[in-house]
Structure 1
Amino acid sequence: MNVLLVYAHPEPKSLNGSLKNFSVKHLEDAGHVVQVSDLYAMKWKASLDADDSTDRHANARFDPSLDSRRAFEHGLQSKDIALEQDKLRWADAVILQFPLWWFSMPAILKGWVERVYAYGFAYGIGEHSDARWGDRYGEGTLAGKRAMLIVTTGGWESHYSARGINGPIDDVLFPIHHGVLYYPGFDVLPPFVVYRTGRTDDARFAKIRDALGQRLDDLWKTAPIPFRPQNSGAYNIPELTLRPDVAPDLTGFAAHTA
């Protein structure tokens, strides 16, 4: 299988760097083909702006969505964006690896999403009517591919538990799982999370490495998070609210998981 690992950490000698190197070798040893987008090493431009189109006119008004659509449709995207889109088309599975900084992904990875997920590539696709509202949330360009997060955090696991001060880790990661990955069609696997990273010695790293190796071995076996597809009847369209009879006692993030 083809695996794309999008990696966002500035220090190659970090725990993240070691885990990235381990993942690549483990997957390749298992017979998979791996590409790595090391965003800091690539000096990835994080900001979405008018320069993302190769025929930018200096005095023209910049519209992020419409300019993205035009550039994508007419082959006018900057080369770095087009190359990352080609990697996503090529991949059978995508791994996003990053440290949890201020409850989200590092800015450079968010910028990768904002620029690579162009209008017409990852959103703005399909029929919009009273019967369906585009090809998204379970459908879309990336449907049929798998995705998983590898996340590190300095907080204790209890800090991210059901009653922990930081909120449940599934809630913290919901915008990435549901919005960044499920929206364009990925089957989203449960995350691999390493807690309390500052307390990682050689013995603990060996245990983390072994657990990660098992998750990578199971990349095509693990059941995805059972998010509710948008166009399969659970949601009223075009309101895009859950029908009254679907999870009637639930609100918030939990209501969107079957």
Structure 2
Amino acid sequence: MHPYGKSFNHAIADVTVSTLKESGHEVSFHDLCAEGFDPILMGEELVSDRSDDELVQIHWNEIKEADGIVIIHPNWWGQPPAILKGWVDRVLRENVAYRFPEDDDGSGLPIGLLKARVALVFNTSNTPEERENTVFGDPLERIWKDCIFDFCGVSNFHRRMFRTIAGSTSEQRQAWLDEVMDMVCEHFPGKER
């Protein structure tokens, strides 16, 4: 998510949550900044695959049961904000989101454990698309599609980058929010709106 409550990321989240609920879906929504999620993975948690953090345990339980996942965040330095990276480190853990075969030391191919049938990622950026693709190679696509969701067993992946936010008009932002609604309805069908 975004630390600023009036950001376009929050508008995307509002439309996403309301669209899912209107379609009859049960939604577990988390604004990591608002709930004070601690992104720091401590040594004992890393080696034990256990956490005393009740919020991490809630996220573990919810992600394991989720039929679909939607991630919303800005593009900061070609990656998610630190709090979201910490969420990935602490929540998408071995034996929660993936595991290795018994005879594997962790260097082989993982077995994805997430049962989500689809993952959507909505990003915002102030970097023009041509520069993003030619200079940086769209690192967020690679991170979310290949390094995270495919690793965890979610191969039905869709992502949309909205850009450039800084110079956008209110009309452009409304068109983007309409696109968010359409994508959510397409990938999370429910009752007729």
TM band (smaller chain): 0.7 to 0.9
| Pairing 1:24–2:17 present | yes
Secondary structure class of the residue paired with 1:101: coil
Equivalent residue, structure 2, for 1:79: 54
Secondary structure class of the residue paired with 1:28: helix
Secondary structure class of the residue paired with 1:95: strand
Secondary structure class of the residue paired with 1:192: strand
Task: Find the aligned partners of 1:25 and 1:119 in 2 and give their Cα distance.
Answer: 32
State the structure with more CA Rg: 1
Cα deviation code 1:116-159 (max 9, x no counterpart): 12332234433446xxx45x3xx421145311111111111222
Out of 90, 94, 97, the position equivalent to 2:72 is 97
Equivalent residue, structure 2, for 1:125: 100
Report the TM-score, using the length of structure 2 for normalisation: 0.87
Equivalent residue, structure 1, for 2:142: 174
Contact residue 177 and residue 188 of structure 1 kept, 8 A: no
Equivalent residue, structure 2, for 1:148: 120
Contact residue 44 and residue 108 of structure 1 kept, 8 A: yes
Equivalent residue, structure 2, for 1:33: 26
| Pairing 1:67–2:48 present | yes
> Which range moved further: 39-48 or 195-204?
195-204
Task: Find the aligned partners of 1:202 and 1:114 in 2 and give their Cα distance.
Answer: 36
Tell me how far 1:195 sits from its aligned partner. Answer: 1.1
Identity %: 22
Secondary structure class of the residue paired with 2:135: coil
Equivalent residue, structure 1, for 2:163: 195
Contact residue 151 and residue 193 of structure 1 kept, 8 A: yes
Task: Find the aligned partners of 1:124 and 1:97 in 2 and give their Cα distance.
Answer: 26
Contact residue 143 and residue 187 of structure 1 kept, 8 A: no
Tell me how far 1:50 sits from its aligned partner. Answer: 4.2
Greater helix content? 2
Report the TM-score, using the length of structure 1 for normalisation: 0.66
Tell me how far 1:44 sits from its aligned partner. Answer: 0.7
Equivalent residue, structure 2, for 1:14: 7
Equivalent residue, structure 1, for 2:172: 204
| Pairing 1:46–2:16 present | no
| Pairing 1:106–2:81 present | yes
Tell me how far 1:77 sits from its aligned partner. Answer: 4.0
Tell me how far 1:41 sits from its aligned partner. Answer: 0.2
Greater relative CO (CA pairs within 8 A, separation 6+): 2
Contact residue 145 and residue 186 of structure 1 kept, 8 A: yes
Equivalent residue, structure 2, for 1:158: 130
Equivalent residue, structure 2, for 1:213: 181
User: 5+ residue gaps in structure 1?
Assistant: 1-7, 53-63, 222-258
Secondary structure class of the residue paired with 1:113: helix
Secondary structure class of the residue paired with 1:191: strand
Tell me how far 1:210 sits from its aligned partner. Answer: 1.3
Cα deviation code 1:64-96 (max 9, x no counterpart): 2x322xx2xxxx543121110111122110011
Equivalent residue, structure 2, for 1:231: none
Q: Which amino acid aligns with 1:101?
A: W
- Aligned-residue RMSD, C-alpha: 2.2
Task: Evaluate the alpha carbon distance shift between residue 16 and residue 144 of structure 1 in structure 2; reply closer, same or farther with a 3 A threshold.
Answer: closer
Q: Which amino acid aligns with 2:69?
A: V
Contact residue 104 and residue 173 of structure 1 kept, 8 A: no
Tell me how far 1:23 sits from its aligned partner. Answer: 1.1
